[in-house]
């Protein structure tokens, strides 16, 4: 038996390198369902990533960060939030940010902004916003603690926002938080996620982003959730927003890709911690996602090198190293 094993090892080692490589098409067929040839990245670092940072980031730095992300090839960069400065001081310069990014030389890039209600939408539109995002939750407790109203009340609040946005030609993206787990209720039923997603989709959201807000999801729970949601919302109008609190984000994203999802939210430098898991990482980093996708032969239209530089830039202004594993590895390699 030892002789047979040694012979097999020698045969494998004798193989030419090119015979061990897989073409992009072959890599994309590893799962039972063909993986998407292209994935659209929705960059959330400037908004979701920075909003919880204690270090106040100057407007000029935010604008330069957004410019670098657009330069890296990202087509959707969430820029800021039109919420009350009382609740999110980091986003108090939303008007200044919007004024500056409209002058950036990237006409094909969309800069969506978060709005909590009709007042926020009106303020965003006055600043030239062409796309906004609204946020709901599949957890009753999380909804009450995060936006001070029940799920049903939040959905009712969205109706005038969708109505005015439609009249004004403004696109609306919908976020559903806590799609697999909640810090207050624990496990969330997939059918409840599907119910909320369906209502938001039927209201007029062009895309529904499904958020594992506290990062407790696994490939098993993500698959079970998606199996319910795809029954009521078309696959091509769904996105996933995975936090990496338990180190499961890339595995969860891969599971979503295997099920046909082709839009992924991520945050350059891994910006955005999870407030319910002290010291844990939050958003999955854009660099790590892009590295994985490119390694699988999936196009993103982005430059990994430029994303790493953008992550290094914003991290330096936060006085810390990037949270991206790929970013740290490539920076160490270049040193």
Which residue numbers are catalytic? 274
Cα angle at 113 between 206 and 227, to 5 degrees? Answer: 40
Among 323, 293, 313, smallest CA distance to 64 is for 313
Q: How many angstroms separate the CA atoms of 248 and 187, rounded?
A: 16
151-168 vs 140-147: helix crossing angle, rounded to 10: 60
Q: What are phi and psi of 264, to 5 degrees?
A: -130, 130
Question: How many other CB atoms are found less than 10 A from the CB of residue 14?
Answer: 8
User: The sheet that has 80-81: what strands, in order across it?
Assistant: 76-77, 40-43, 263-266, 238-242, 207-212, 171-177, 131-137, 113-114, 80-81
- Environment class of 239 (CB within 10 Å of its CB; exposed 0-12, middle 13-18, buried 19+): buried
Q: For residue 198, what is the enclosing H or E element?
A: helix 190-203
Question: How many other CB atoms are found less than 10 A from the CB of residue 106?
Answer: 17
- Coil, helix or strand at residue 92: coil
How many residues comprise the chain? Answer: 335
């Amino acid at each position: 038996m030892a002789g047979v094993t040694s012979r097999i090892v020698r045969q494998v080692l004798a193989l030419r390198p090119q015979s061990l490589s897989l073409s992009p098409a072959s890599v994309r067929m590893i799962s039972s369902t063909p993986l998407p040839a292209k994935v659209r990245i929705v960059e959330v670092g400037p908004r979701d990533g920075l909003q919880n940072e204690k270090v106040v980031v100057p407007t000029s730095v935010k604008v330069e960060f957004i410019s670098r992300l657009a330069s890296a090839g990202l087509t959707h960069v969430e820029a800021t939030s039109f919420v009350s400065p009382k609740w999110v001081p980091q986003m108090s310069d939303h008007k200044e940010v919007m004024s500056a990014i409209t002058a950036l030389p990237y006409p094909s890039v969309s800069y969506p902004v978060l709005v909590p209600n009709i007042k926020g939408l009106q303020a965003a539109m006055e600043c030239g916003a062409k796309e906004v995002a609204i946020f709901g939750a599949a957890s009753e407790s999380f909804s009450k603690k995060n936006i001070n109203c029940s799920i049903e009340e939040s959905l009712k609040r969205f109706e005038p926002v969708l109505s005015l946005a439609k009249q004004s030609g403004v696109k609306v993206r919908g976020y559903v938080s806590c799609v697999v787990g909640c810090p207050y209720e624990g496990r969330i039923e997939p059918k409840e996620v599907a119910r909320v997603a369906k209502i938001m989709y039927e209201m007029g959201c062009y895309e529904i982003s499904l958020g594992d807000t506290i990062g407790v999801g696994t490939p098993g729970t993500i698959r079970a959730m998606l199996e319910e949601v795809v029954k009521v919302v078309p696959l091509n109008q769904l996105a996933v927003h995975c936090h990496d609190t338990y180190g499961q984000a890339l595995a969860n994203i891969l599971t979503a890709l295997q099920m046909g999802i082709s839009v992924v939210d991520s945050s350059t430098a891994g910006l955005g911690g999870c407030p319910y898991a002290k010291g844990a990482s939050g958003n999955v980093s854009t660099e790590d996602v892009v590295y994985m996708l490119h390694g699988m032969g999936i196009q993103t239209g982005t430059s990994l090198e430029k994303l790493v530089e953008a992550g290094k830039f914003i991290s330096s202004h936060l006085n810390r190293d990037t949270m991206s594993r790929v970013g740290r590895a490539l920076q160490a390699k270049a040193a």
